[in-house]
């Protein structure tokens, strides 16, 4: 599978590269574009401030430019938190997308969004301050109306970016469970 993996608002941290290596070891081809051009941040707040300076349109432009050379192959779009929202936007706009793997995040959907049985898997902490229960319920219904085939996995007690071993949010048990399920999902595509 060809996978475009986007980083979180904290930048292209070692955990993103480790995730890409894990996916490559499972036989996938993976690209990890650096939308922040080398900048990484210790806190979500610092990353969000930098993200706002760049602007949503510029971030999406960078993501589209990174994915464009590979999209004809039929990409699986994936991402962590901010990267998940970017991956979702790109996957829903790419008729050749093979799947969508969301780790720690989702995004708004345009009212006219339509896909043809796009396989989507979401892994998120429970509770998660950025992905509240009400938000996730509404998101799930909107994705279903858009034509996506959605699976949601919740991890009780895990922190927001629980798959990143370099952050206080890390939860090893939840992270390993996530990767086990996500690799199965990718193998099914």
pLDDT in tens, 113-148: 999 999 999 999 999 999 999 999 999 999 999 999
CATH number, position 121: 3.40.50.1820
Question: What pTM did the predictor assign?
Answer: 0.97
pLDDT computed for residue 69 by the predictor: 97
pLDDT in tens, 48-88: 999 999 999 999 999 999 999 999 999 999 999 999 999 99
Instruction: Extract long-range pairs of 153-159: CB within 8 Å, 24+ residues apart.
Output: 153/121, 153/122, 153/123, 153/124, 153/177, 153/178, 153/181, 154/124, 154/125, 154/126, 155/123, 155/124, 155/125, 155/126, 156/126, 157/125, 157/126, 158/125, 158/126, 159/125
Number of domains composing the chain: 1
43-47, 103-107, 123-127 — which is least confidently predicted?
Answer: 43-47
Domain that holds residue 93: 2-188
């Amino acid at each position: 599978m060809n996978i475009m993996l986007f980083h979180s608002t904290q930048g292209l941290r070692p955990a993103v590269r480790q995730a890409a290596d894990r996916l490559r070891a499972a036989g996938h081809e993976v690209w990890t574009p650096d939308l922040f051009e080398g900048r990484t941040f210790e806190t979500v707040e610092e990353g969000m401030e930098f993200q706002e300076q760049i602007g949503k349109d510029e971030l999406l432009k960078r993501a589209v430019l990174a994915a464009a050379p590979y999209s004809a192959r039929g990409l699986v779009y994936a991402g962590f938190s901010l990267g998940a929202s970017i991956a979702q936007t790109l996957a829903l706009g790419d008729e050749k997308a093979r799947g969508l793997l969301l780790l720690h995040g989702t995004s708004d959907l345009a009212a006219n969004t339509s896909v043809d049985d796009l396989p989507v898997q979401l892994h998120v902490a429970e509770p998660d301050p950025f992905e509240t229960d009400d938000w996730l319920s509404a998101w799930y219904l909107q994705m279903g109306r858009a034509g996506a085939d959605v699976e949601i996995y919740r991890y009780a007690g895990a922190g927001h970016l629980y798959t990143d071993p370099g952050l206080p949010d890390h939860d090893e048990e939840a992270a390993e469970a996530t990767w086990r399920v996500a690799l199965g999902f990718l193998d099914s595509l």
